[in-house]
Amino acid sequence: MNTRQLLRSFTAAVFLFGLFSSQPALSTQVRDYEVVESLQNVFEEVVEKVKPAVVNISTVSEVEIKHPPIPPEFRNFFHDFGFPFPEIPRRFETRSLGSGFIVKVEDGWAYILTNNHVVSKAKKIKVKLSDGSVYKAKVVGTDPKTDVALIKIKVGDKKVPVVEIGDSDRIKVGQFVIAIGNPYGLNWTVTHGIISAKGRHGLGLNPIENFIQTDAAINPGNSGGPLCDIHGKVIGINTAIVRNAQGLGFAVPINIAKKVMDDLLKYGKVIRGWLGVYIEDVSPSLAKKFGVKEGVLVTKVMPNSPAEKGGLKAGDIIVEFNGEPVKNVTDLQLKVINTKPGEEVKITVIRDGKRKVLKVKIGQMPGTQSLAHVDLMSKFGFSVQPLTPDLKSKLRVPKWVKHGLIVTEVSSGSSADDAGLREGDIIVAAGVTPKDLRPVKSVDDLLSIIKKAGSSGVLLKVVRGEGVIYVVLNPED
């Protein structure tokens, strides 16, 4: 039963109660209307509170179409008749719409949470506020694993509304929710419903899934918009729908999105814990054999992983993580990735029919370094890779250069292009001023210096050919 049906049933029940009540009919109807109006007022207040902080996001992306090769005989046909062979376009611009909401304003920048699929591969991003003003947006960082992205717009001294973040771990099935977004370009559309389920996974939408399911109407264009509770607090990011189905919408829990946002702002990438095991859910028959109700089966342990170093073995059934029960594969994955790398945890397993407690030091999930490269490209328009001995030899880098980052790509018109960086340059040191230049050995080194420099720009010491030059990399306005 959806919310509208629930309200109709509720109103009908109250009306019938009034008919058979000993109180006067007129008095009963007044009370009935007061109850319904109080519920209506709640929805109105939430919309008035949240709607101003919801934004419309429009993007322009470039899509490359790979046409099949044209046989020579067809090319000759055009040539024989004196016509030039027609050029078939391989790149097309596509436009799309999405939603987002302002979560933070700092140093003249307004930060907006949305979905990764709304802004991924976008060449241009424009954000329209509820007052009609339009701004060019920049990507702060993205996380494809959870389909969360953080973008920002330069608002200067302008006061812009900000949403209030809720706690998605405390929500319950059956609670009222309100979705706000821009479905089919219909700006700032409001729908309502209830939380239909929590912890939905296995949908094949994201690598990491722990969705809130709702029957609030969500359509294309709602992606990235907020899902709010009746207090006007955002508890999720509307993300996906099931095609040709009614009442099946899914949202990323705000607690997951908040961690992504905090990591992107603090580290320039998403930091996740890593165990290093292949796992699968325990079947009912297997659970019965091992005498457990729930857990996950370890099918393989990666060499030199935290799991191997901690003593985990294939065939173990993990039943507890730091004293908390492990329900299924998704539950364990979320527990691990939300653990800070370097932290020691206790993992309880069933091995040979006996309980065994292992101490495992959680590692950092491989692949987070690549997000730092994406961050450099999205913010400053250039990408790099570490200087290896093999590259030093192939590129004939001066012998005195022991470490650094090779610039592998520079986008035209970007901050890096304006600064004078070129492909093949080697960044060997960076700092806010000449006095505090320090060696750059990794992308993390460079990102931390850039973050420290802030709006003042960062000084780069660059090896180009046999010589050394200095360039100033300024953040884009």
> In the 8-state DSSP scheme, what is residue 434?
G
Gap between the Cα atoms of 369 and 366, Å rounded: 7
pLDDT under 70 in the chain at which residues? Answer: 1-28, 62-94, 243-245, 366-379, 412-413, 476-477
Q: For residue 448, what is the DSSP state?
A: H
Catalytic position from the list 58, 99, 147, 425: 147
Residue 201 is labelled as binding a ligand: no
- Look at the domain 368-473 and name its fold: Pdz3 Domain (2.30.42)
Instruction: Please identify which of the residues 58, 99, 117, 375 carries the catalytic annotation.
Output: 117
Do the annotations mark residue 223 as ligand-binding?
yes
Query: One of 223, 378, 414, 415 is an active-site residue; which one?
Result: 223
477 annotated ligand binder: no
What is residue 16's predicted lDDT score, i.e. its pLDDT?
43
162 C-beta neighbours (distance < 10 Å), count: 15
Q: What is the DSSP string of 419-432?
A: HT--TT-EEEEEES
- Spell out the residues 6+ positions from residue 158 whose beta carbon is closer than 8 angstroms to its own: none
147 an active-site residue?
yes
Residue in the block written with tokens 């607690």: 255
Residues 256, 46, 118: CA angle, nearest 5 degrees: 45
Question: Among 390, 407, 396, 405, which Cα is nearest to 441's?
Answer: 405
117 is in an annotated binding site: yes
Q: Output the pLDDT for position 258.
A: 95
CB 278 within 8 Å of CB 284: no
The DSSP 8-state label assigned to residue 411 in this structure reads -
DSSP 192-257: EEEEEEEEE--SSS-SS--EEEE-S---TT-TT-EEE-TTSEEEEEEEEE-TT-SS-EEEEEHHHH
Per-residue pLDDT, 89: 53
Is 413 in contact with 432 (CB distance < 8 Å)? no
* Alpha carbon distance 73, 246 (integer Å): 52
117 catalytically annotated: yes
- Cα–Cα distance list, 420 to 40, 69, 138, 166, 471 (Å): 59, 39, 21, 44, 7
Q: Which pLDDT score, from 0 to 100, does residue 175 have?
A: 94
pTM: 0.66
The whole-angstrom separation of Cα 43 and Cα 37 is 10
Q: Where in the chain is the domain with CATH 2.30.42.10?
A: 273-364, 368-473
Q: Cβ distance 247 to 213 under 8 Å?
A: no
Verify whether residue 262 is a known catalytic residue: no
pLDDT number for residue 401 = 87
Confirm or deny that 222 is annotated as ligand binding: yes
Does the domain formed by 273-364 have CATH 2.30.42.10?
yes
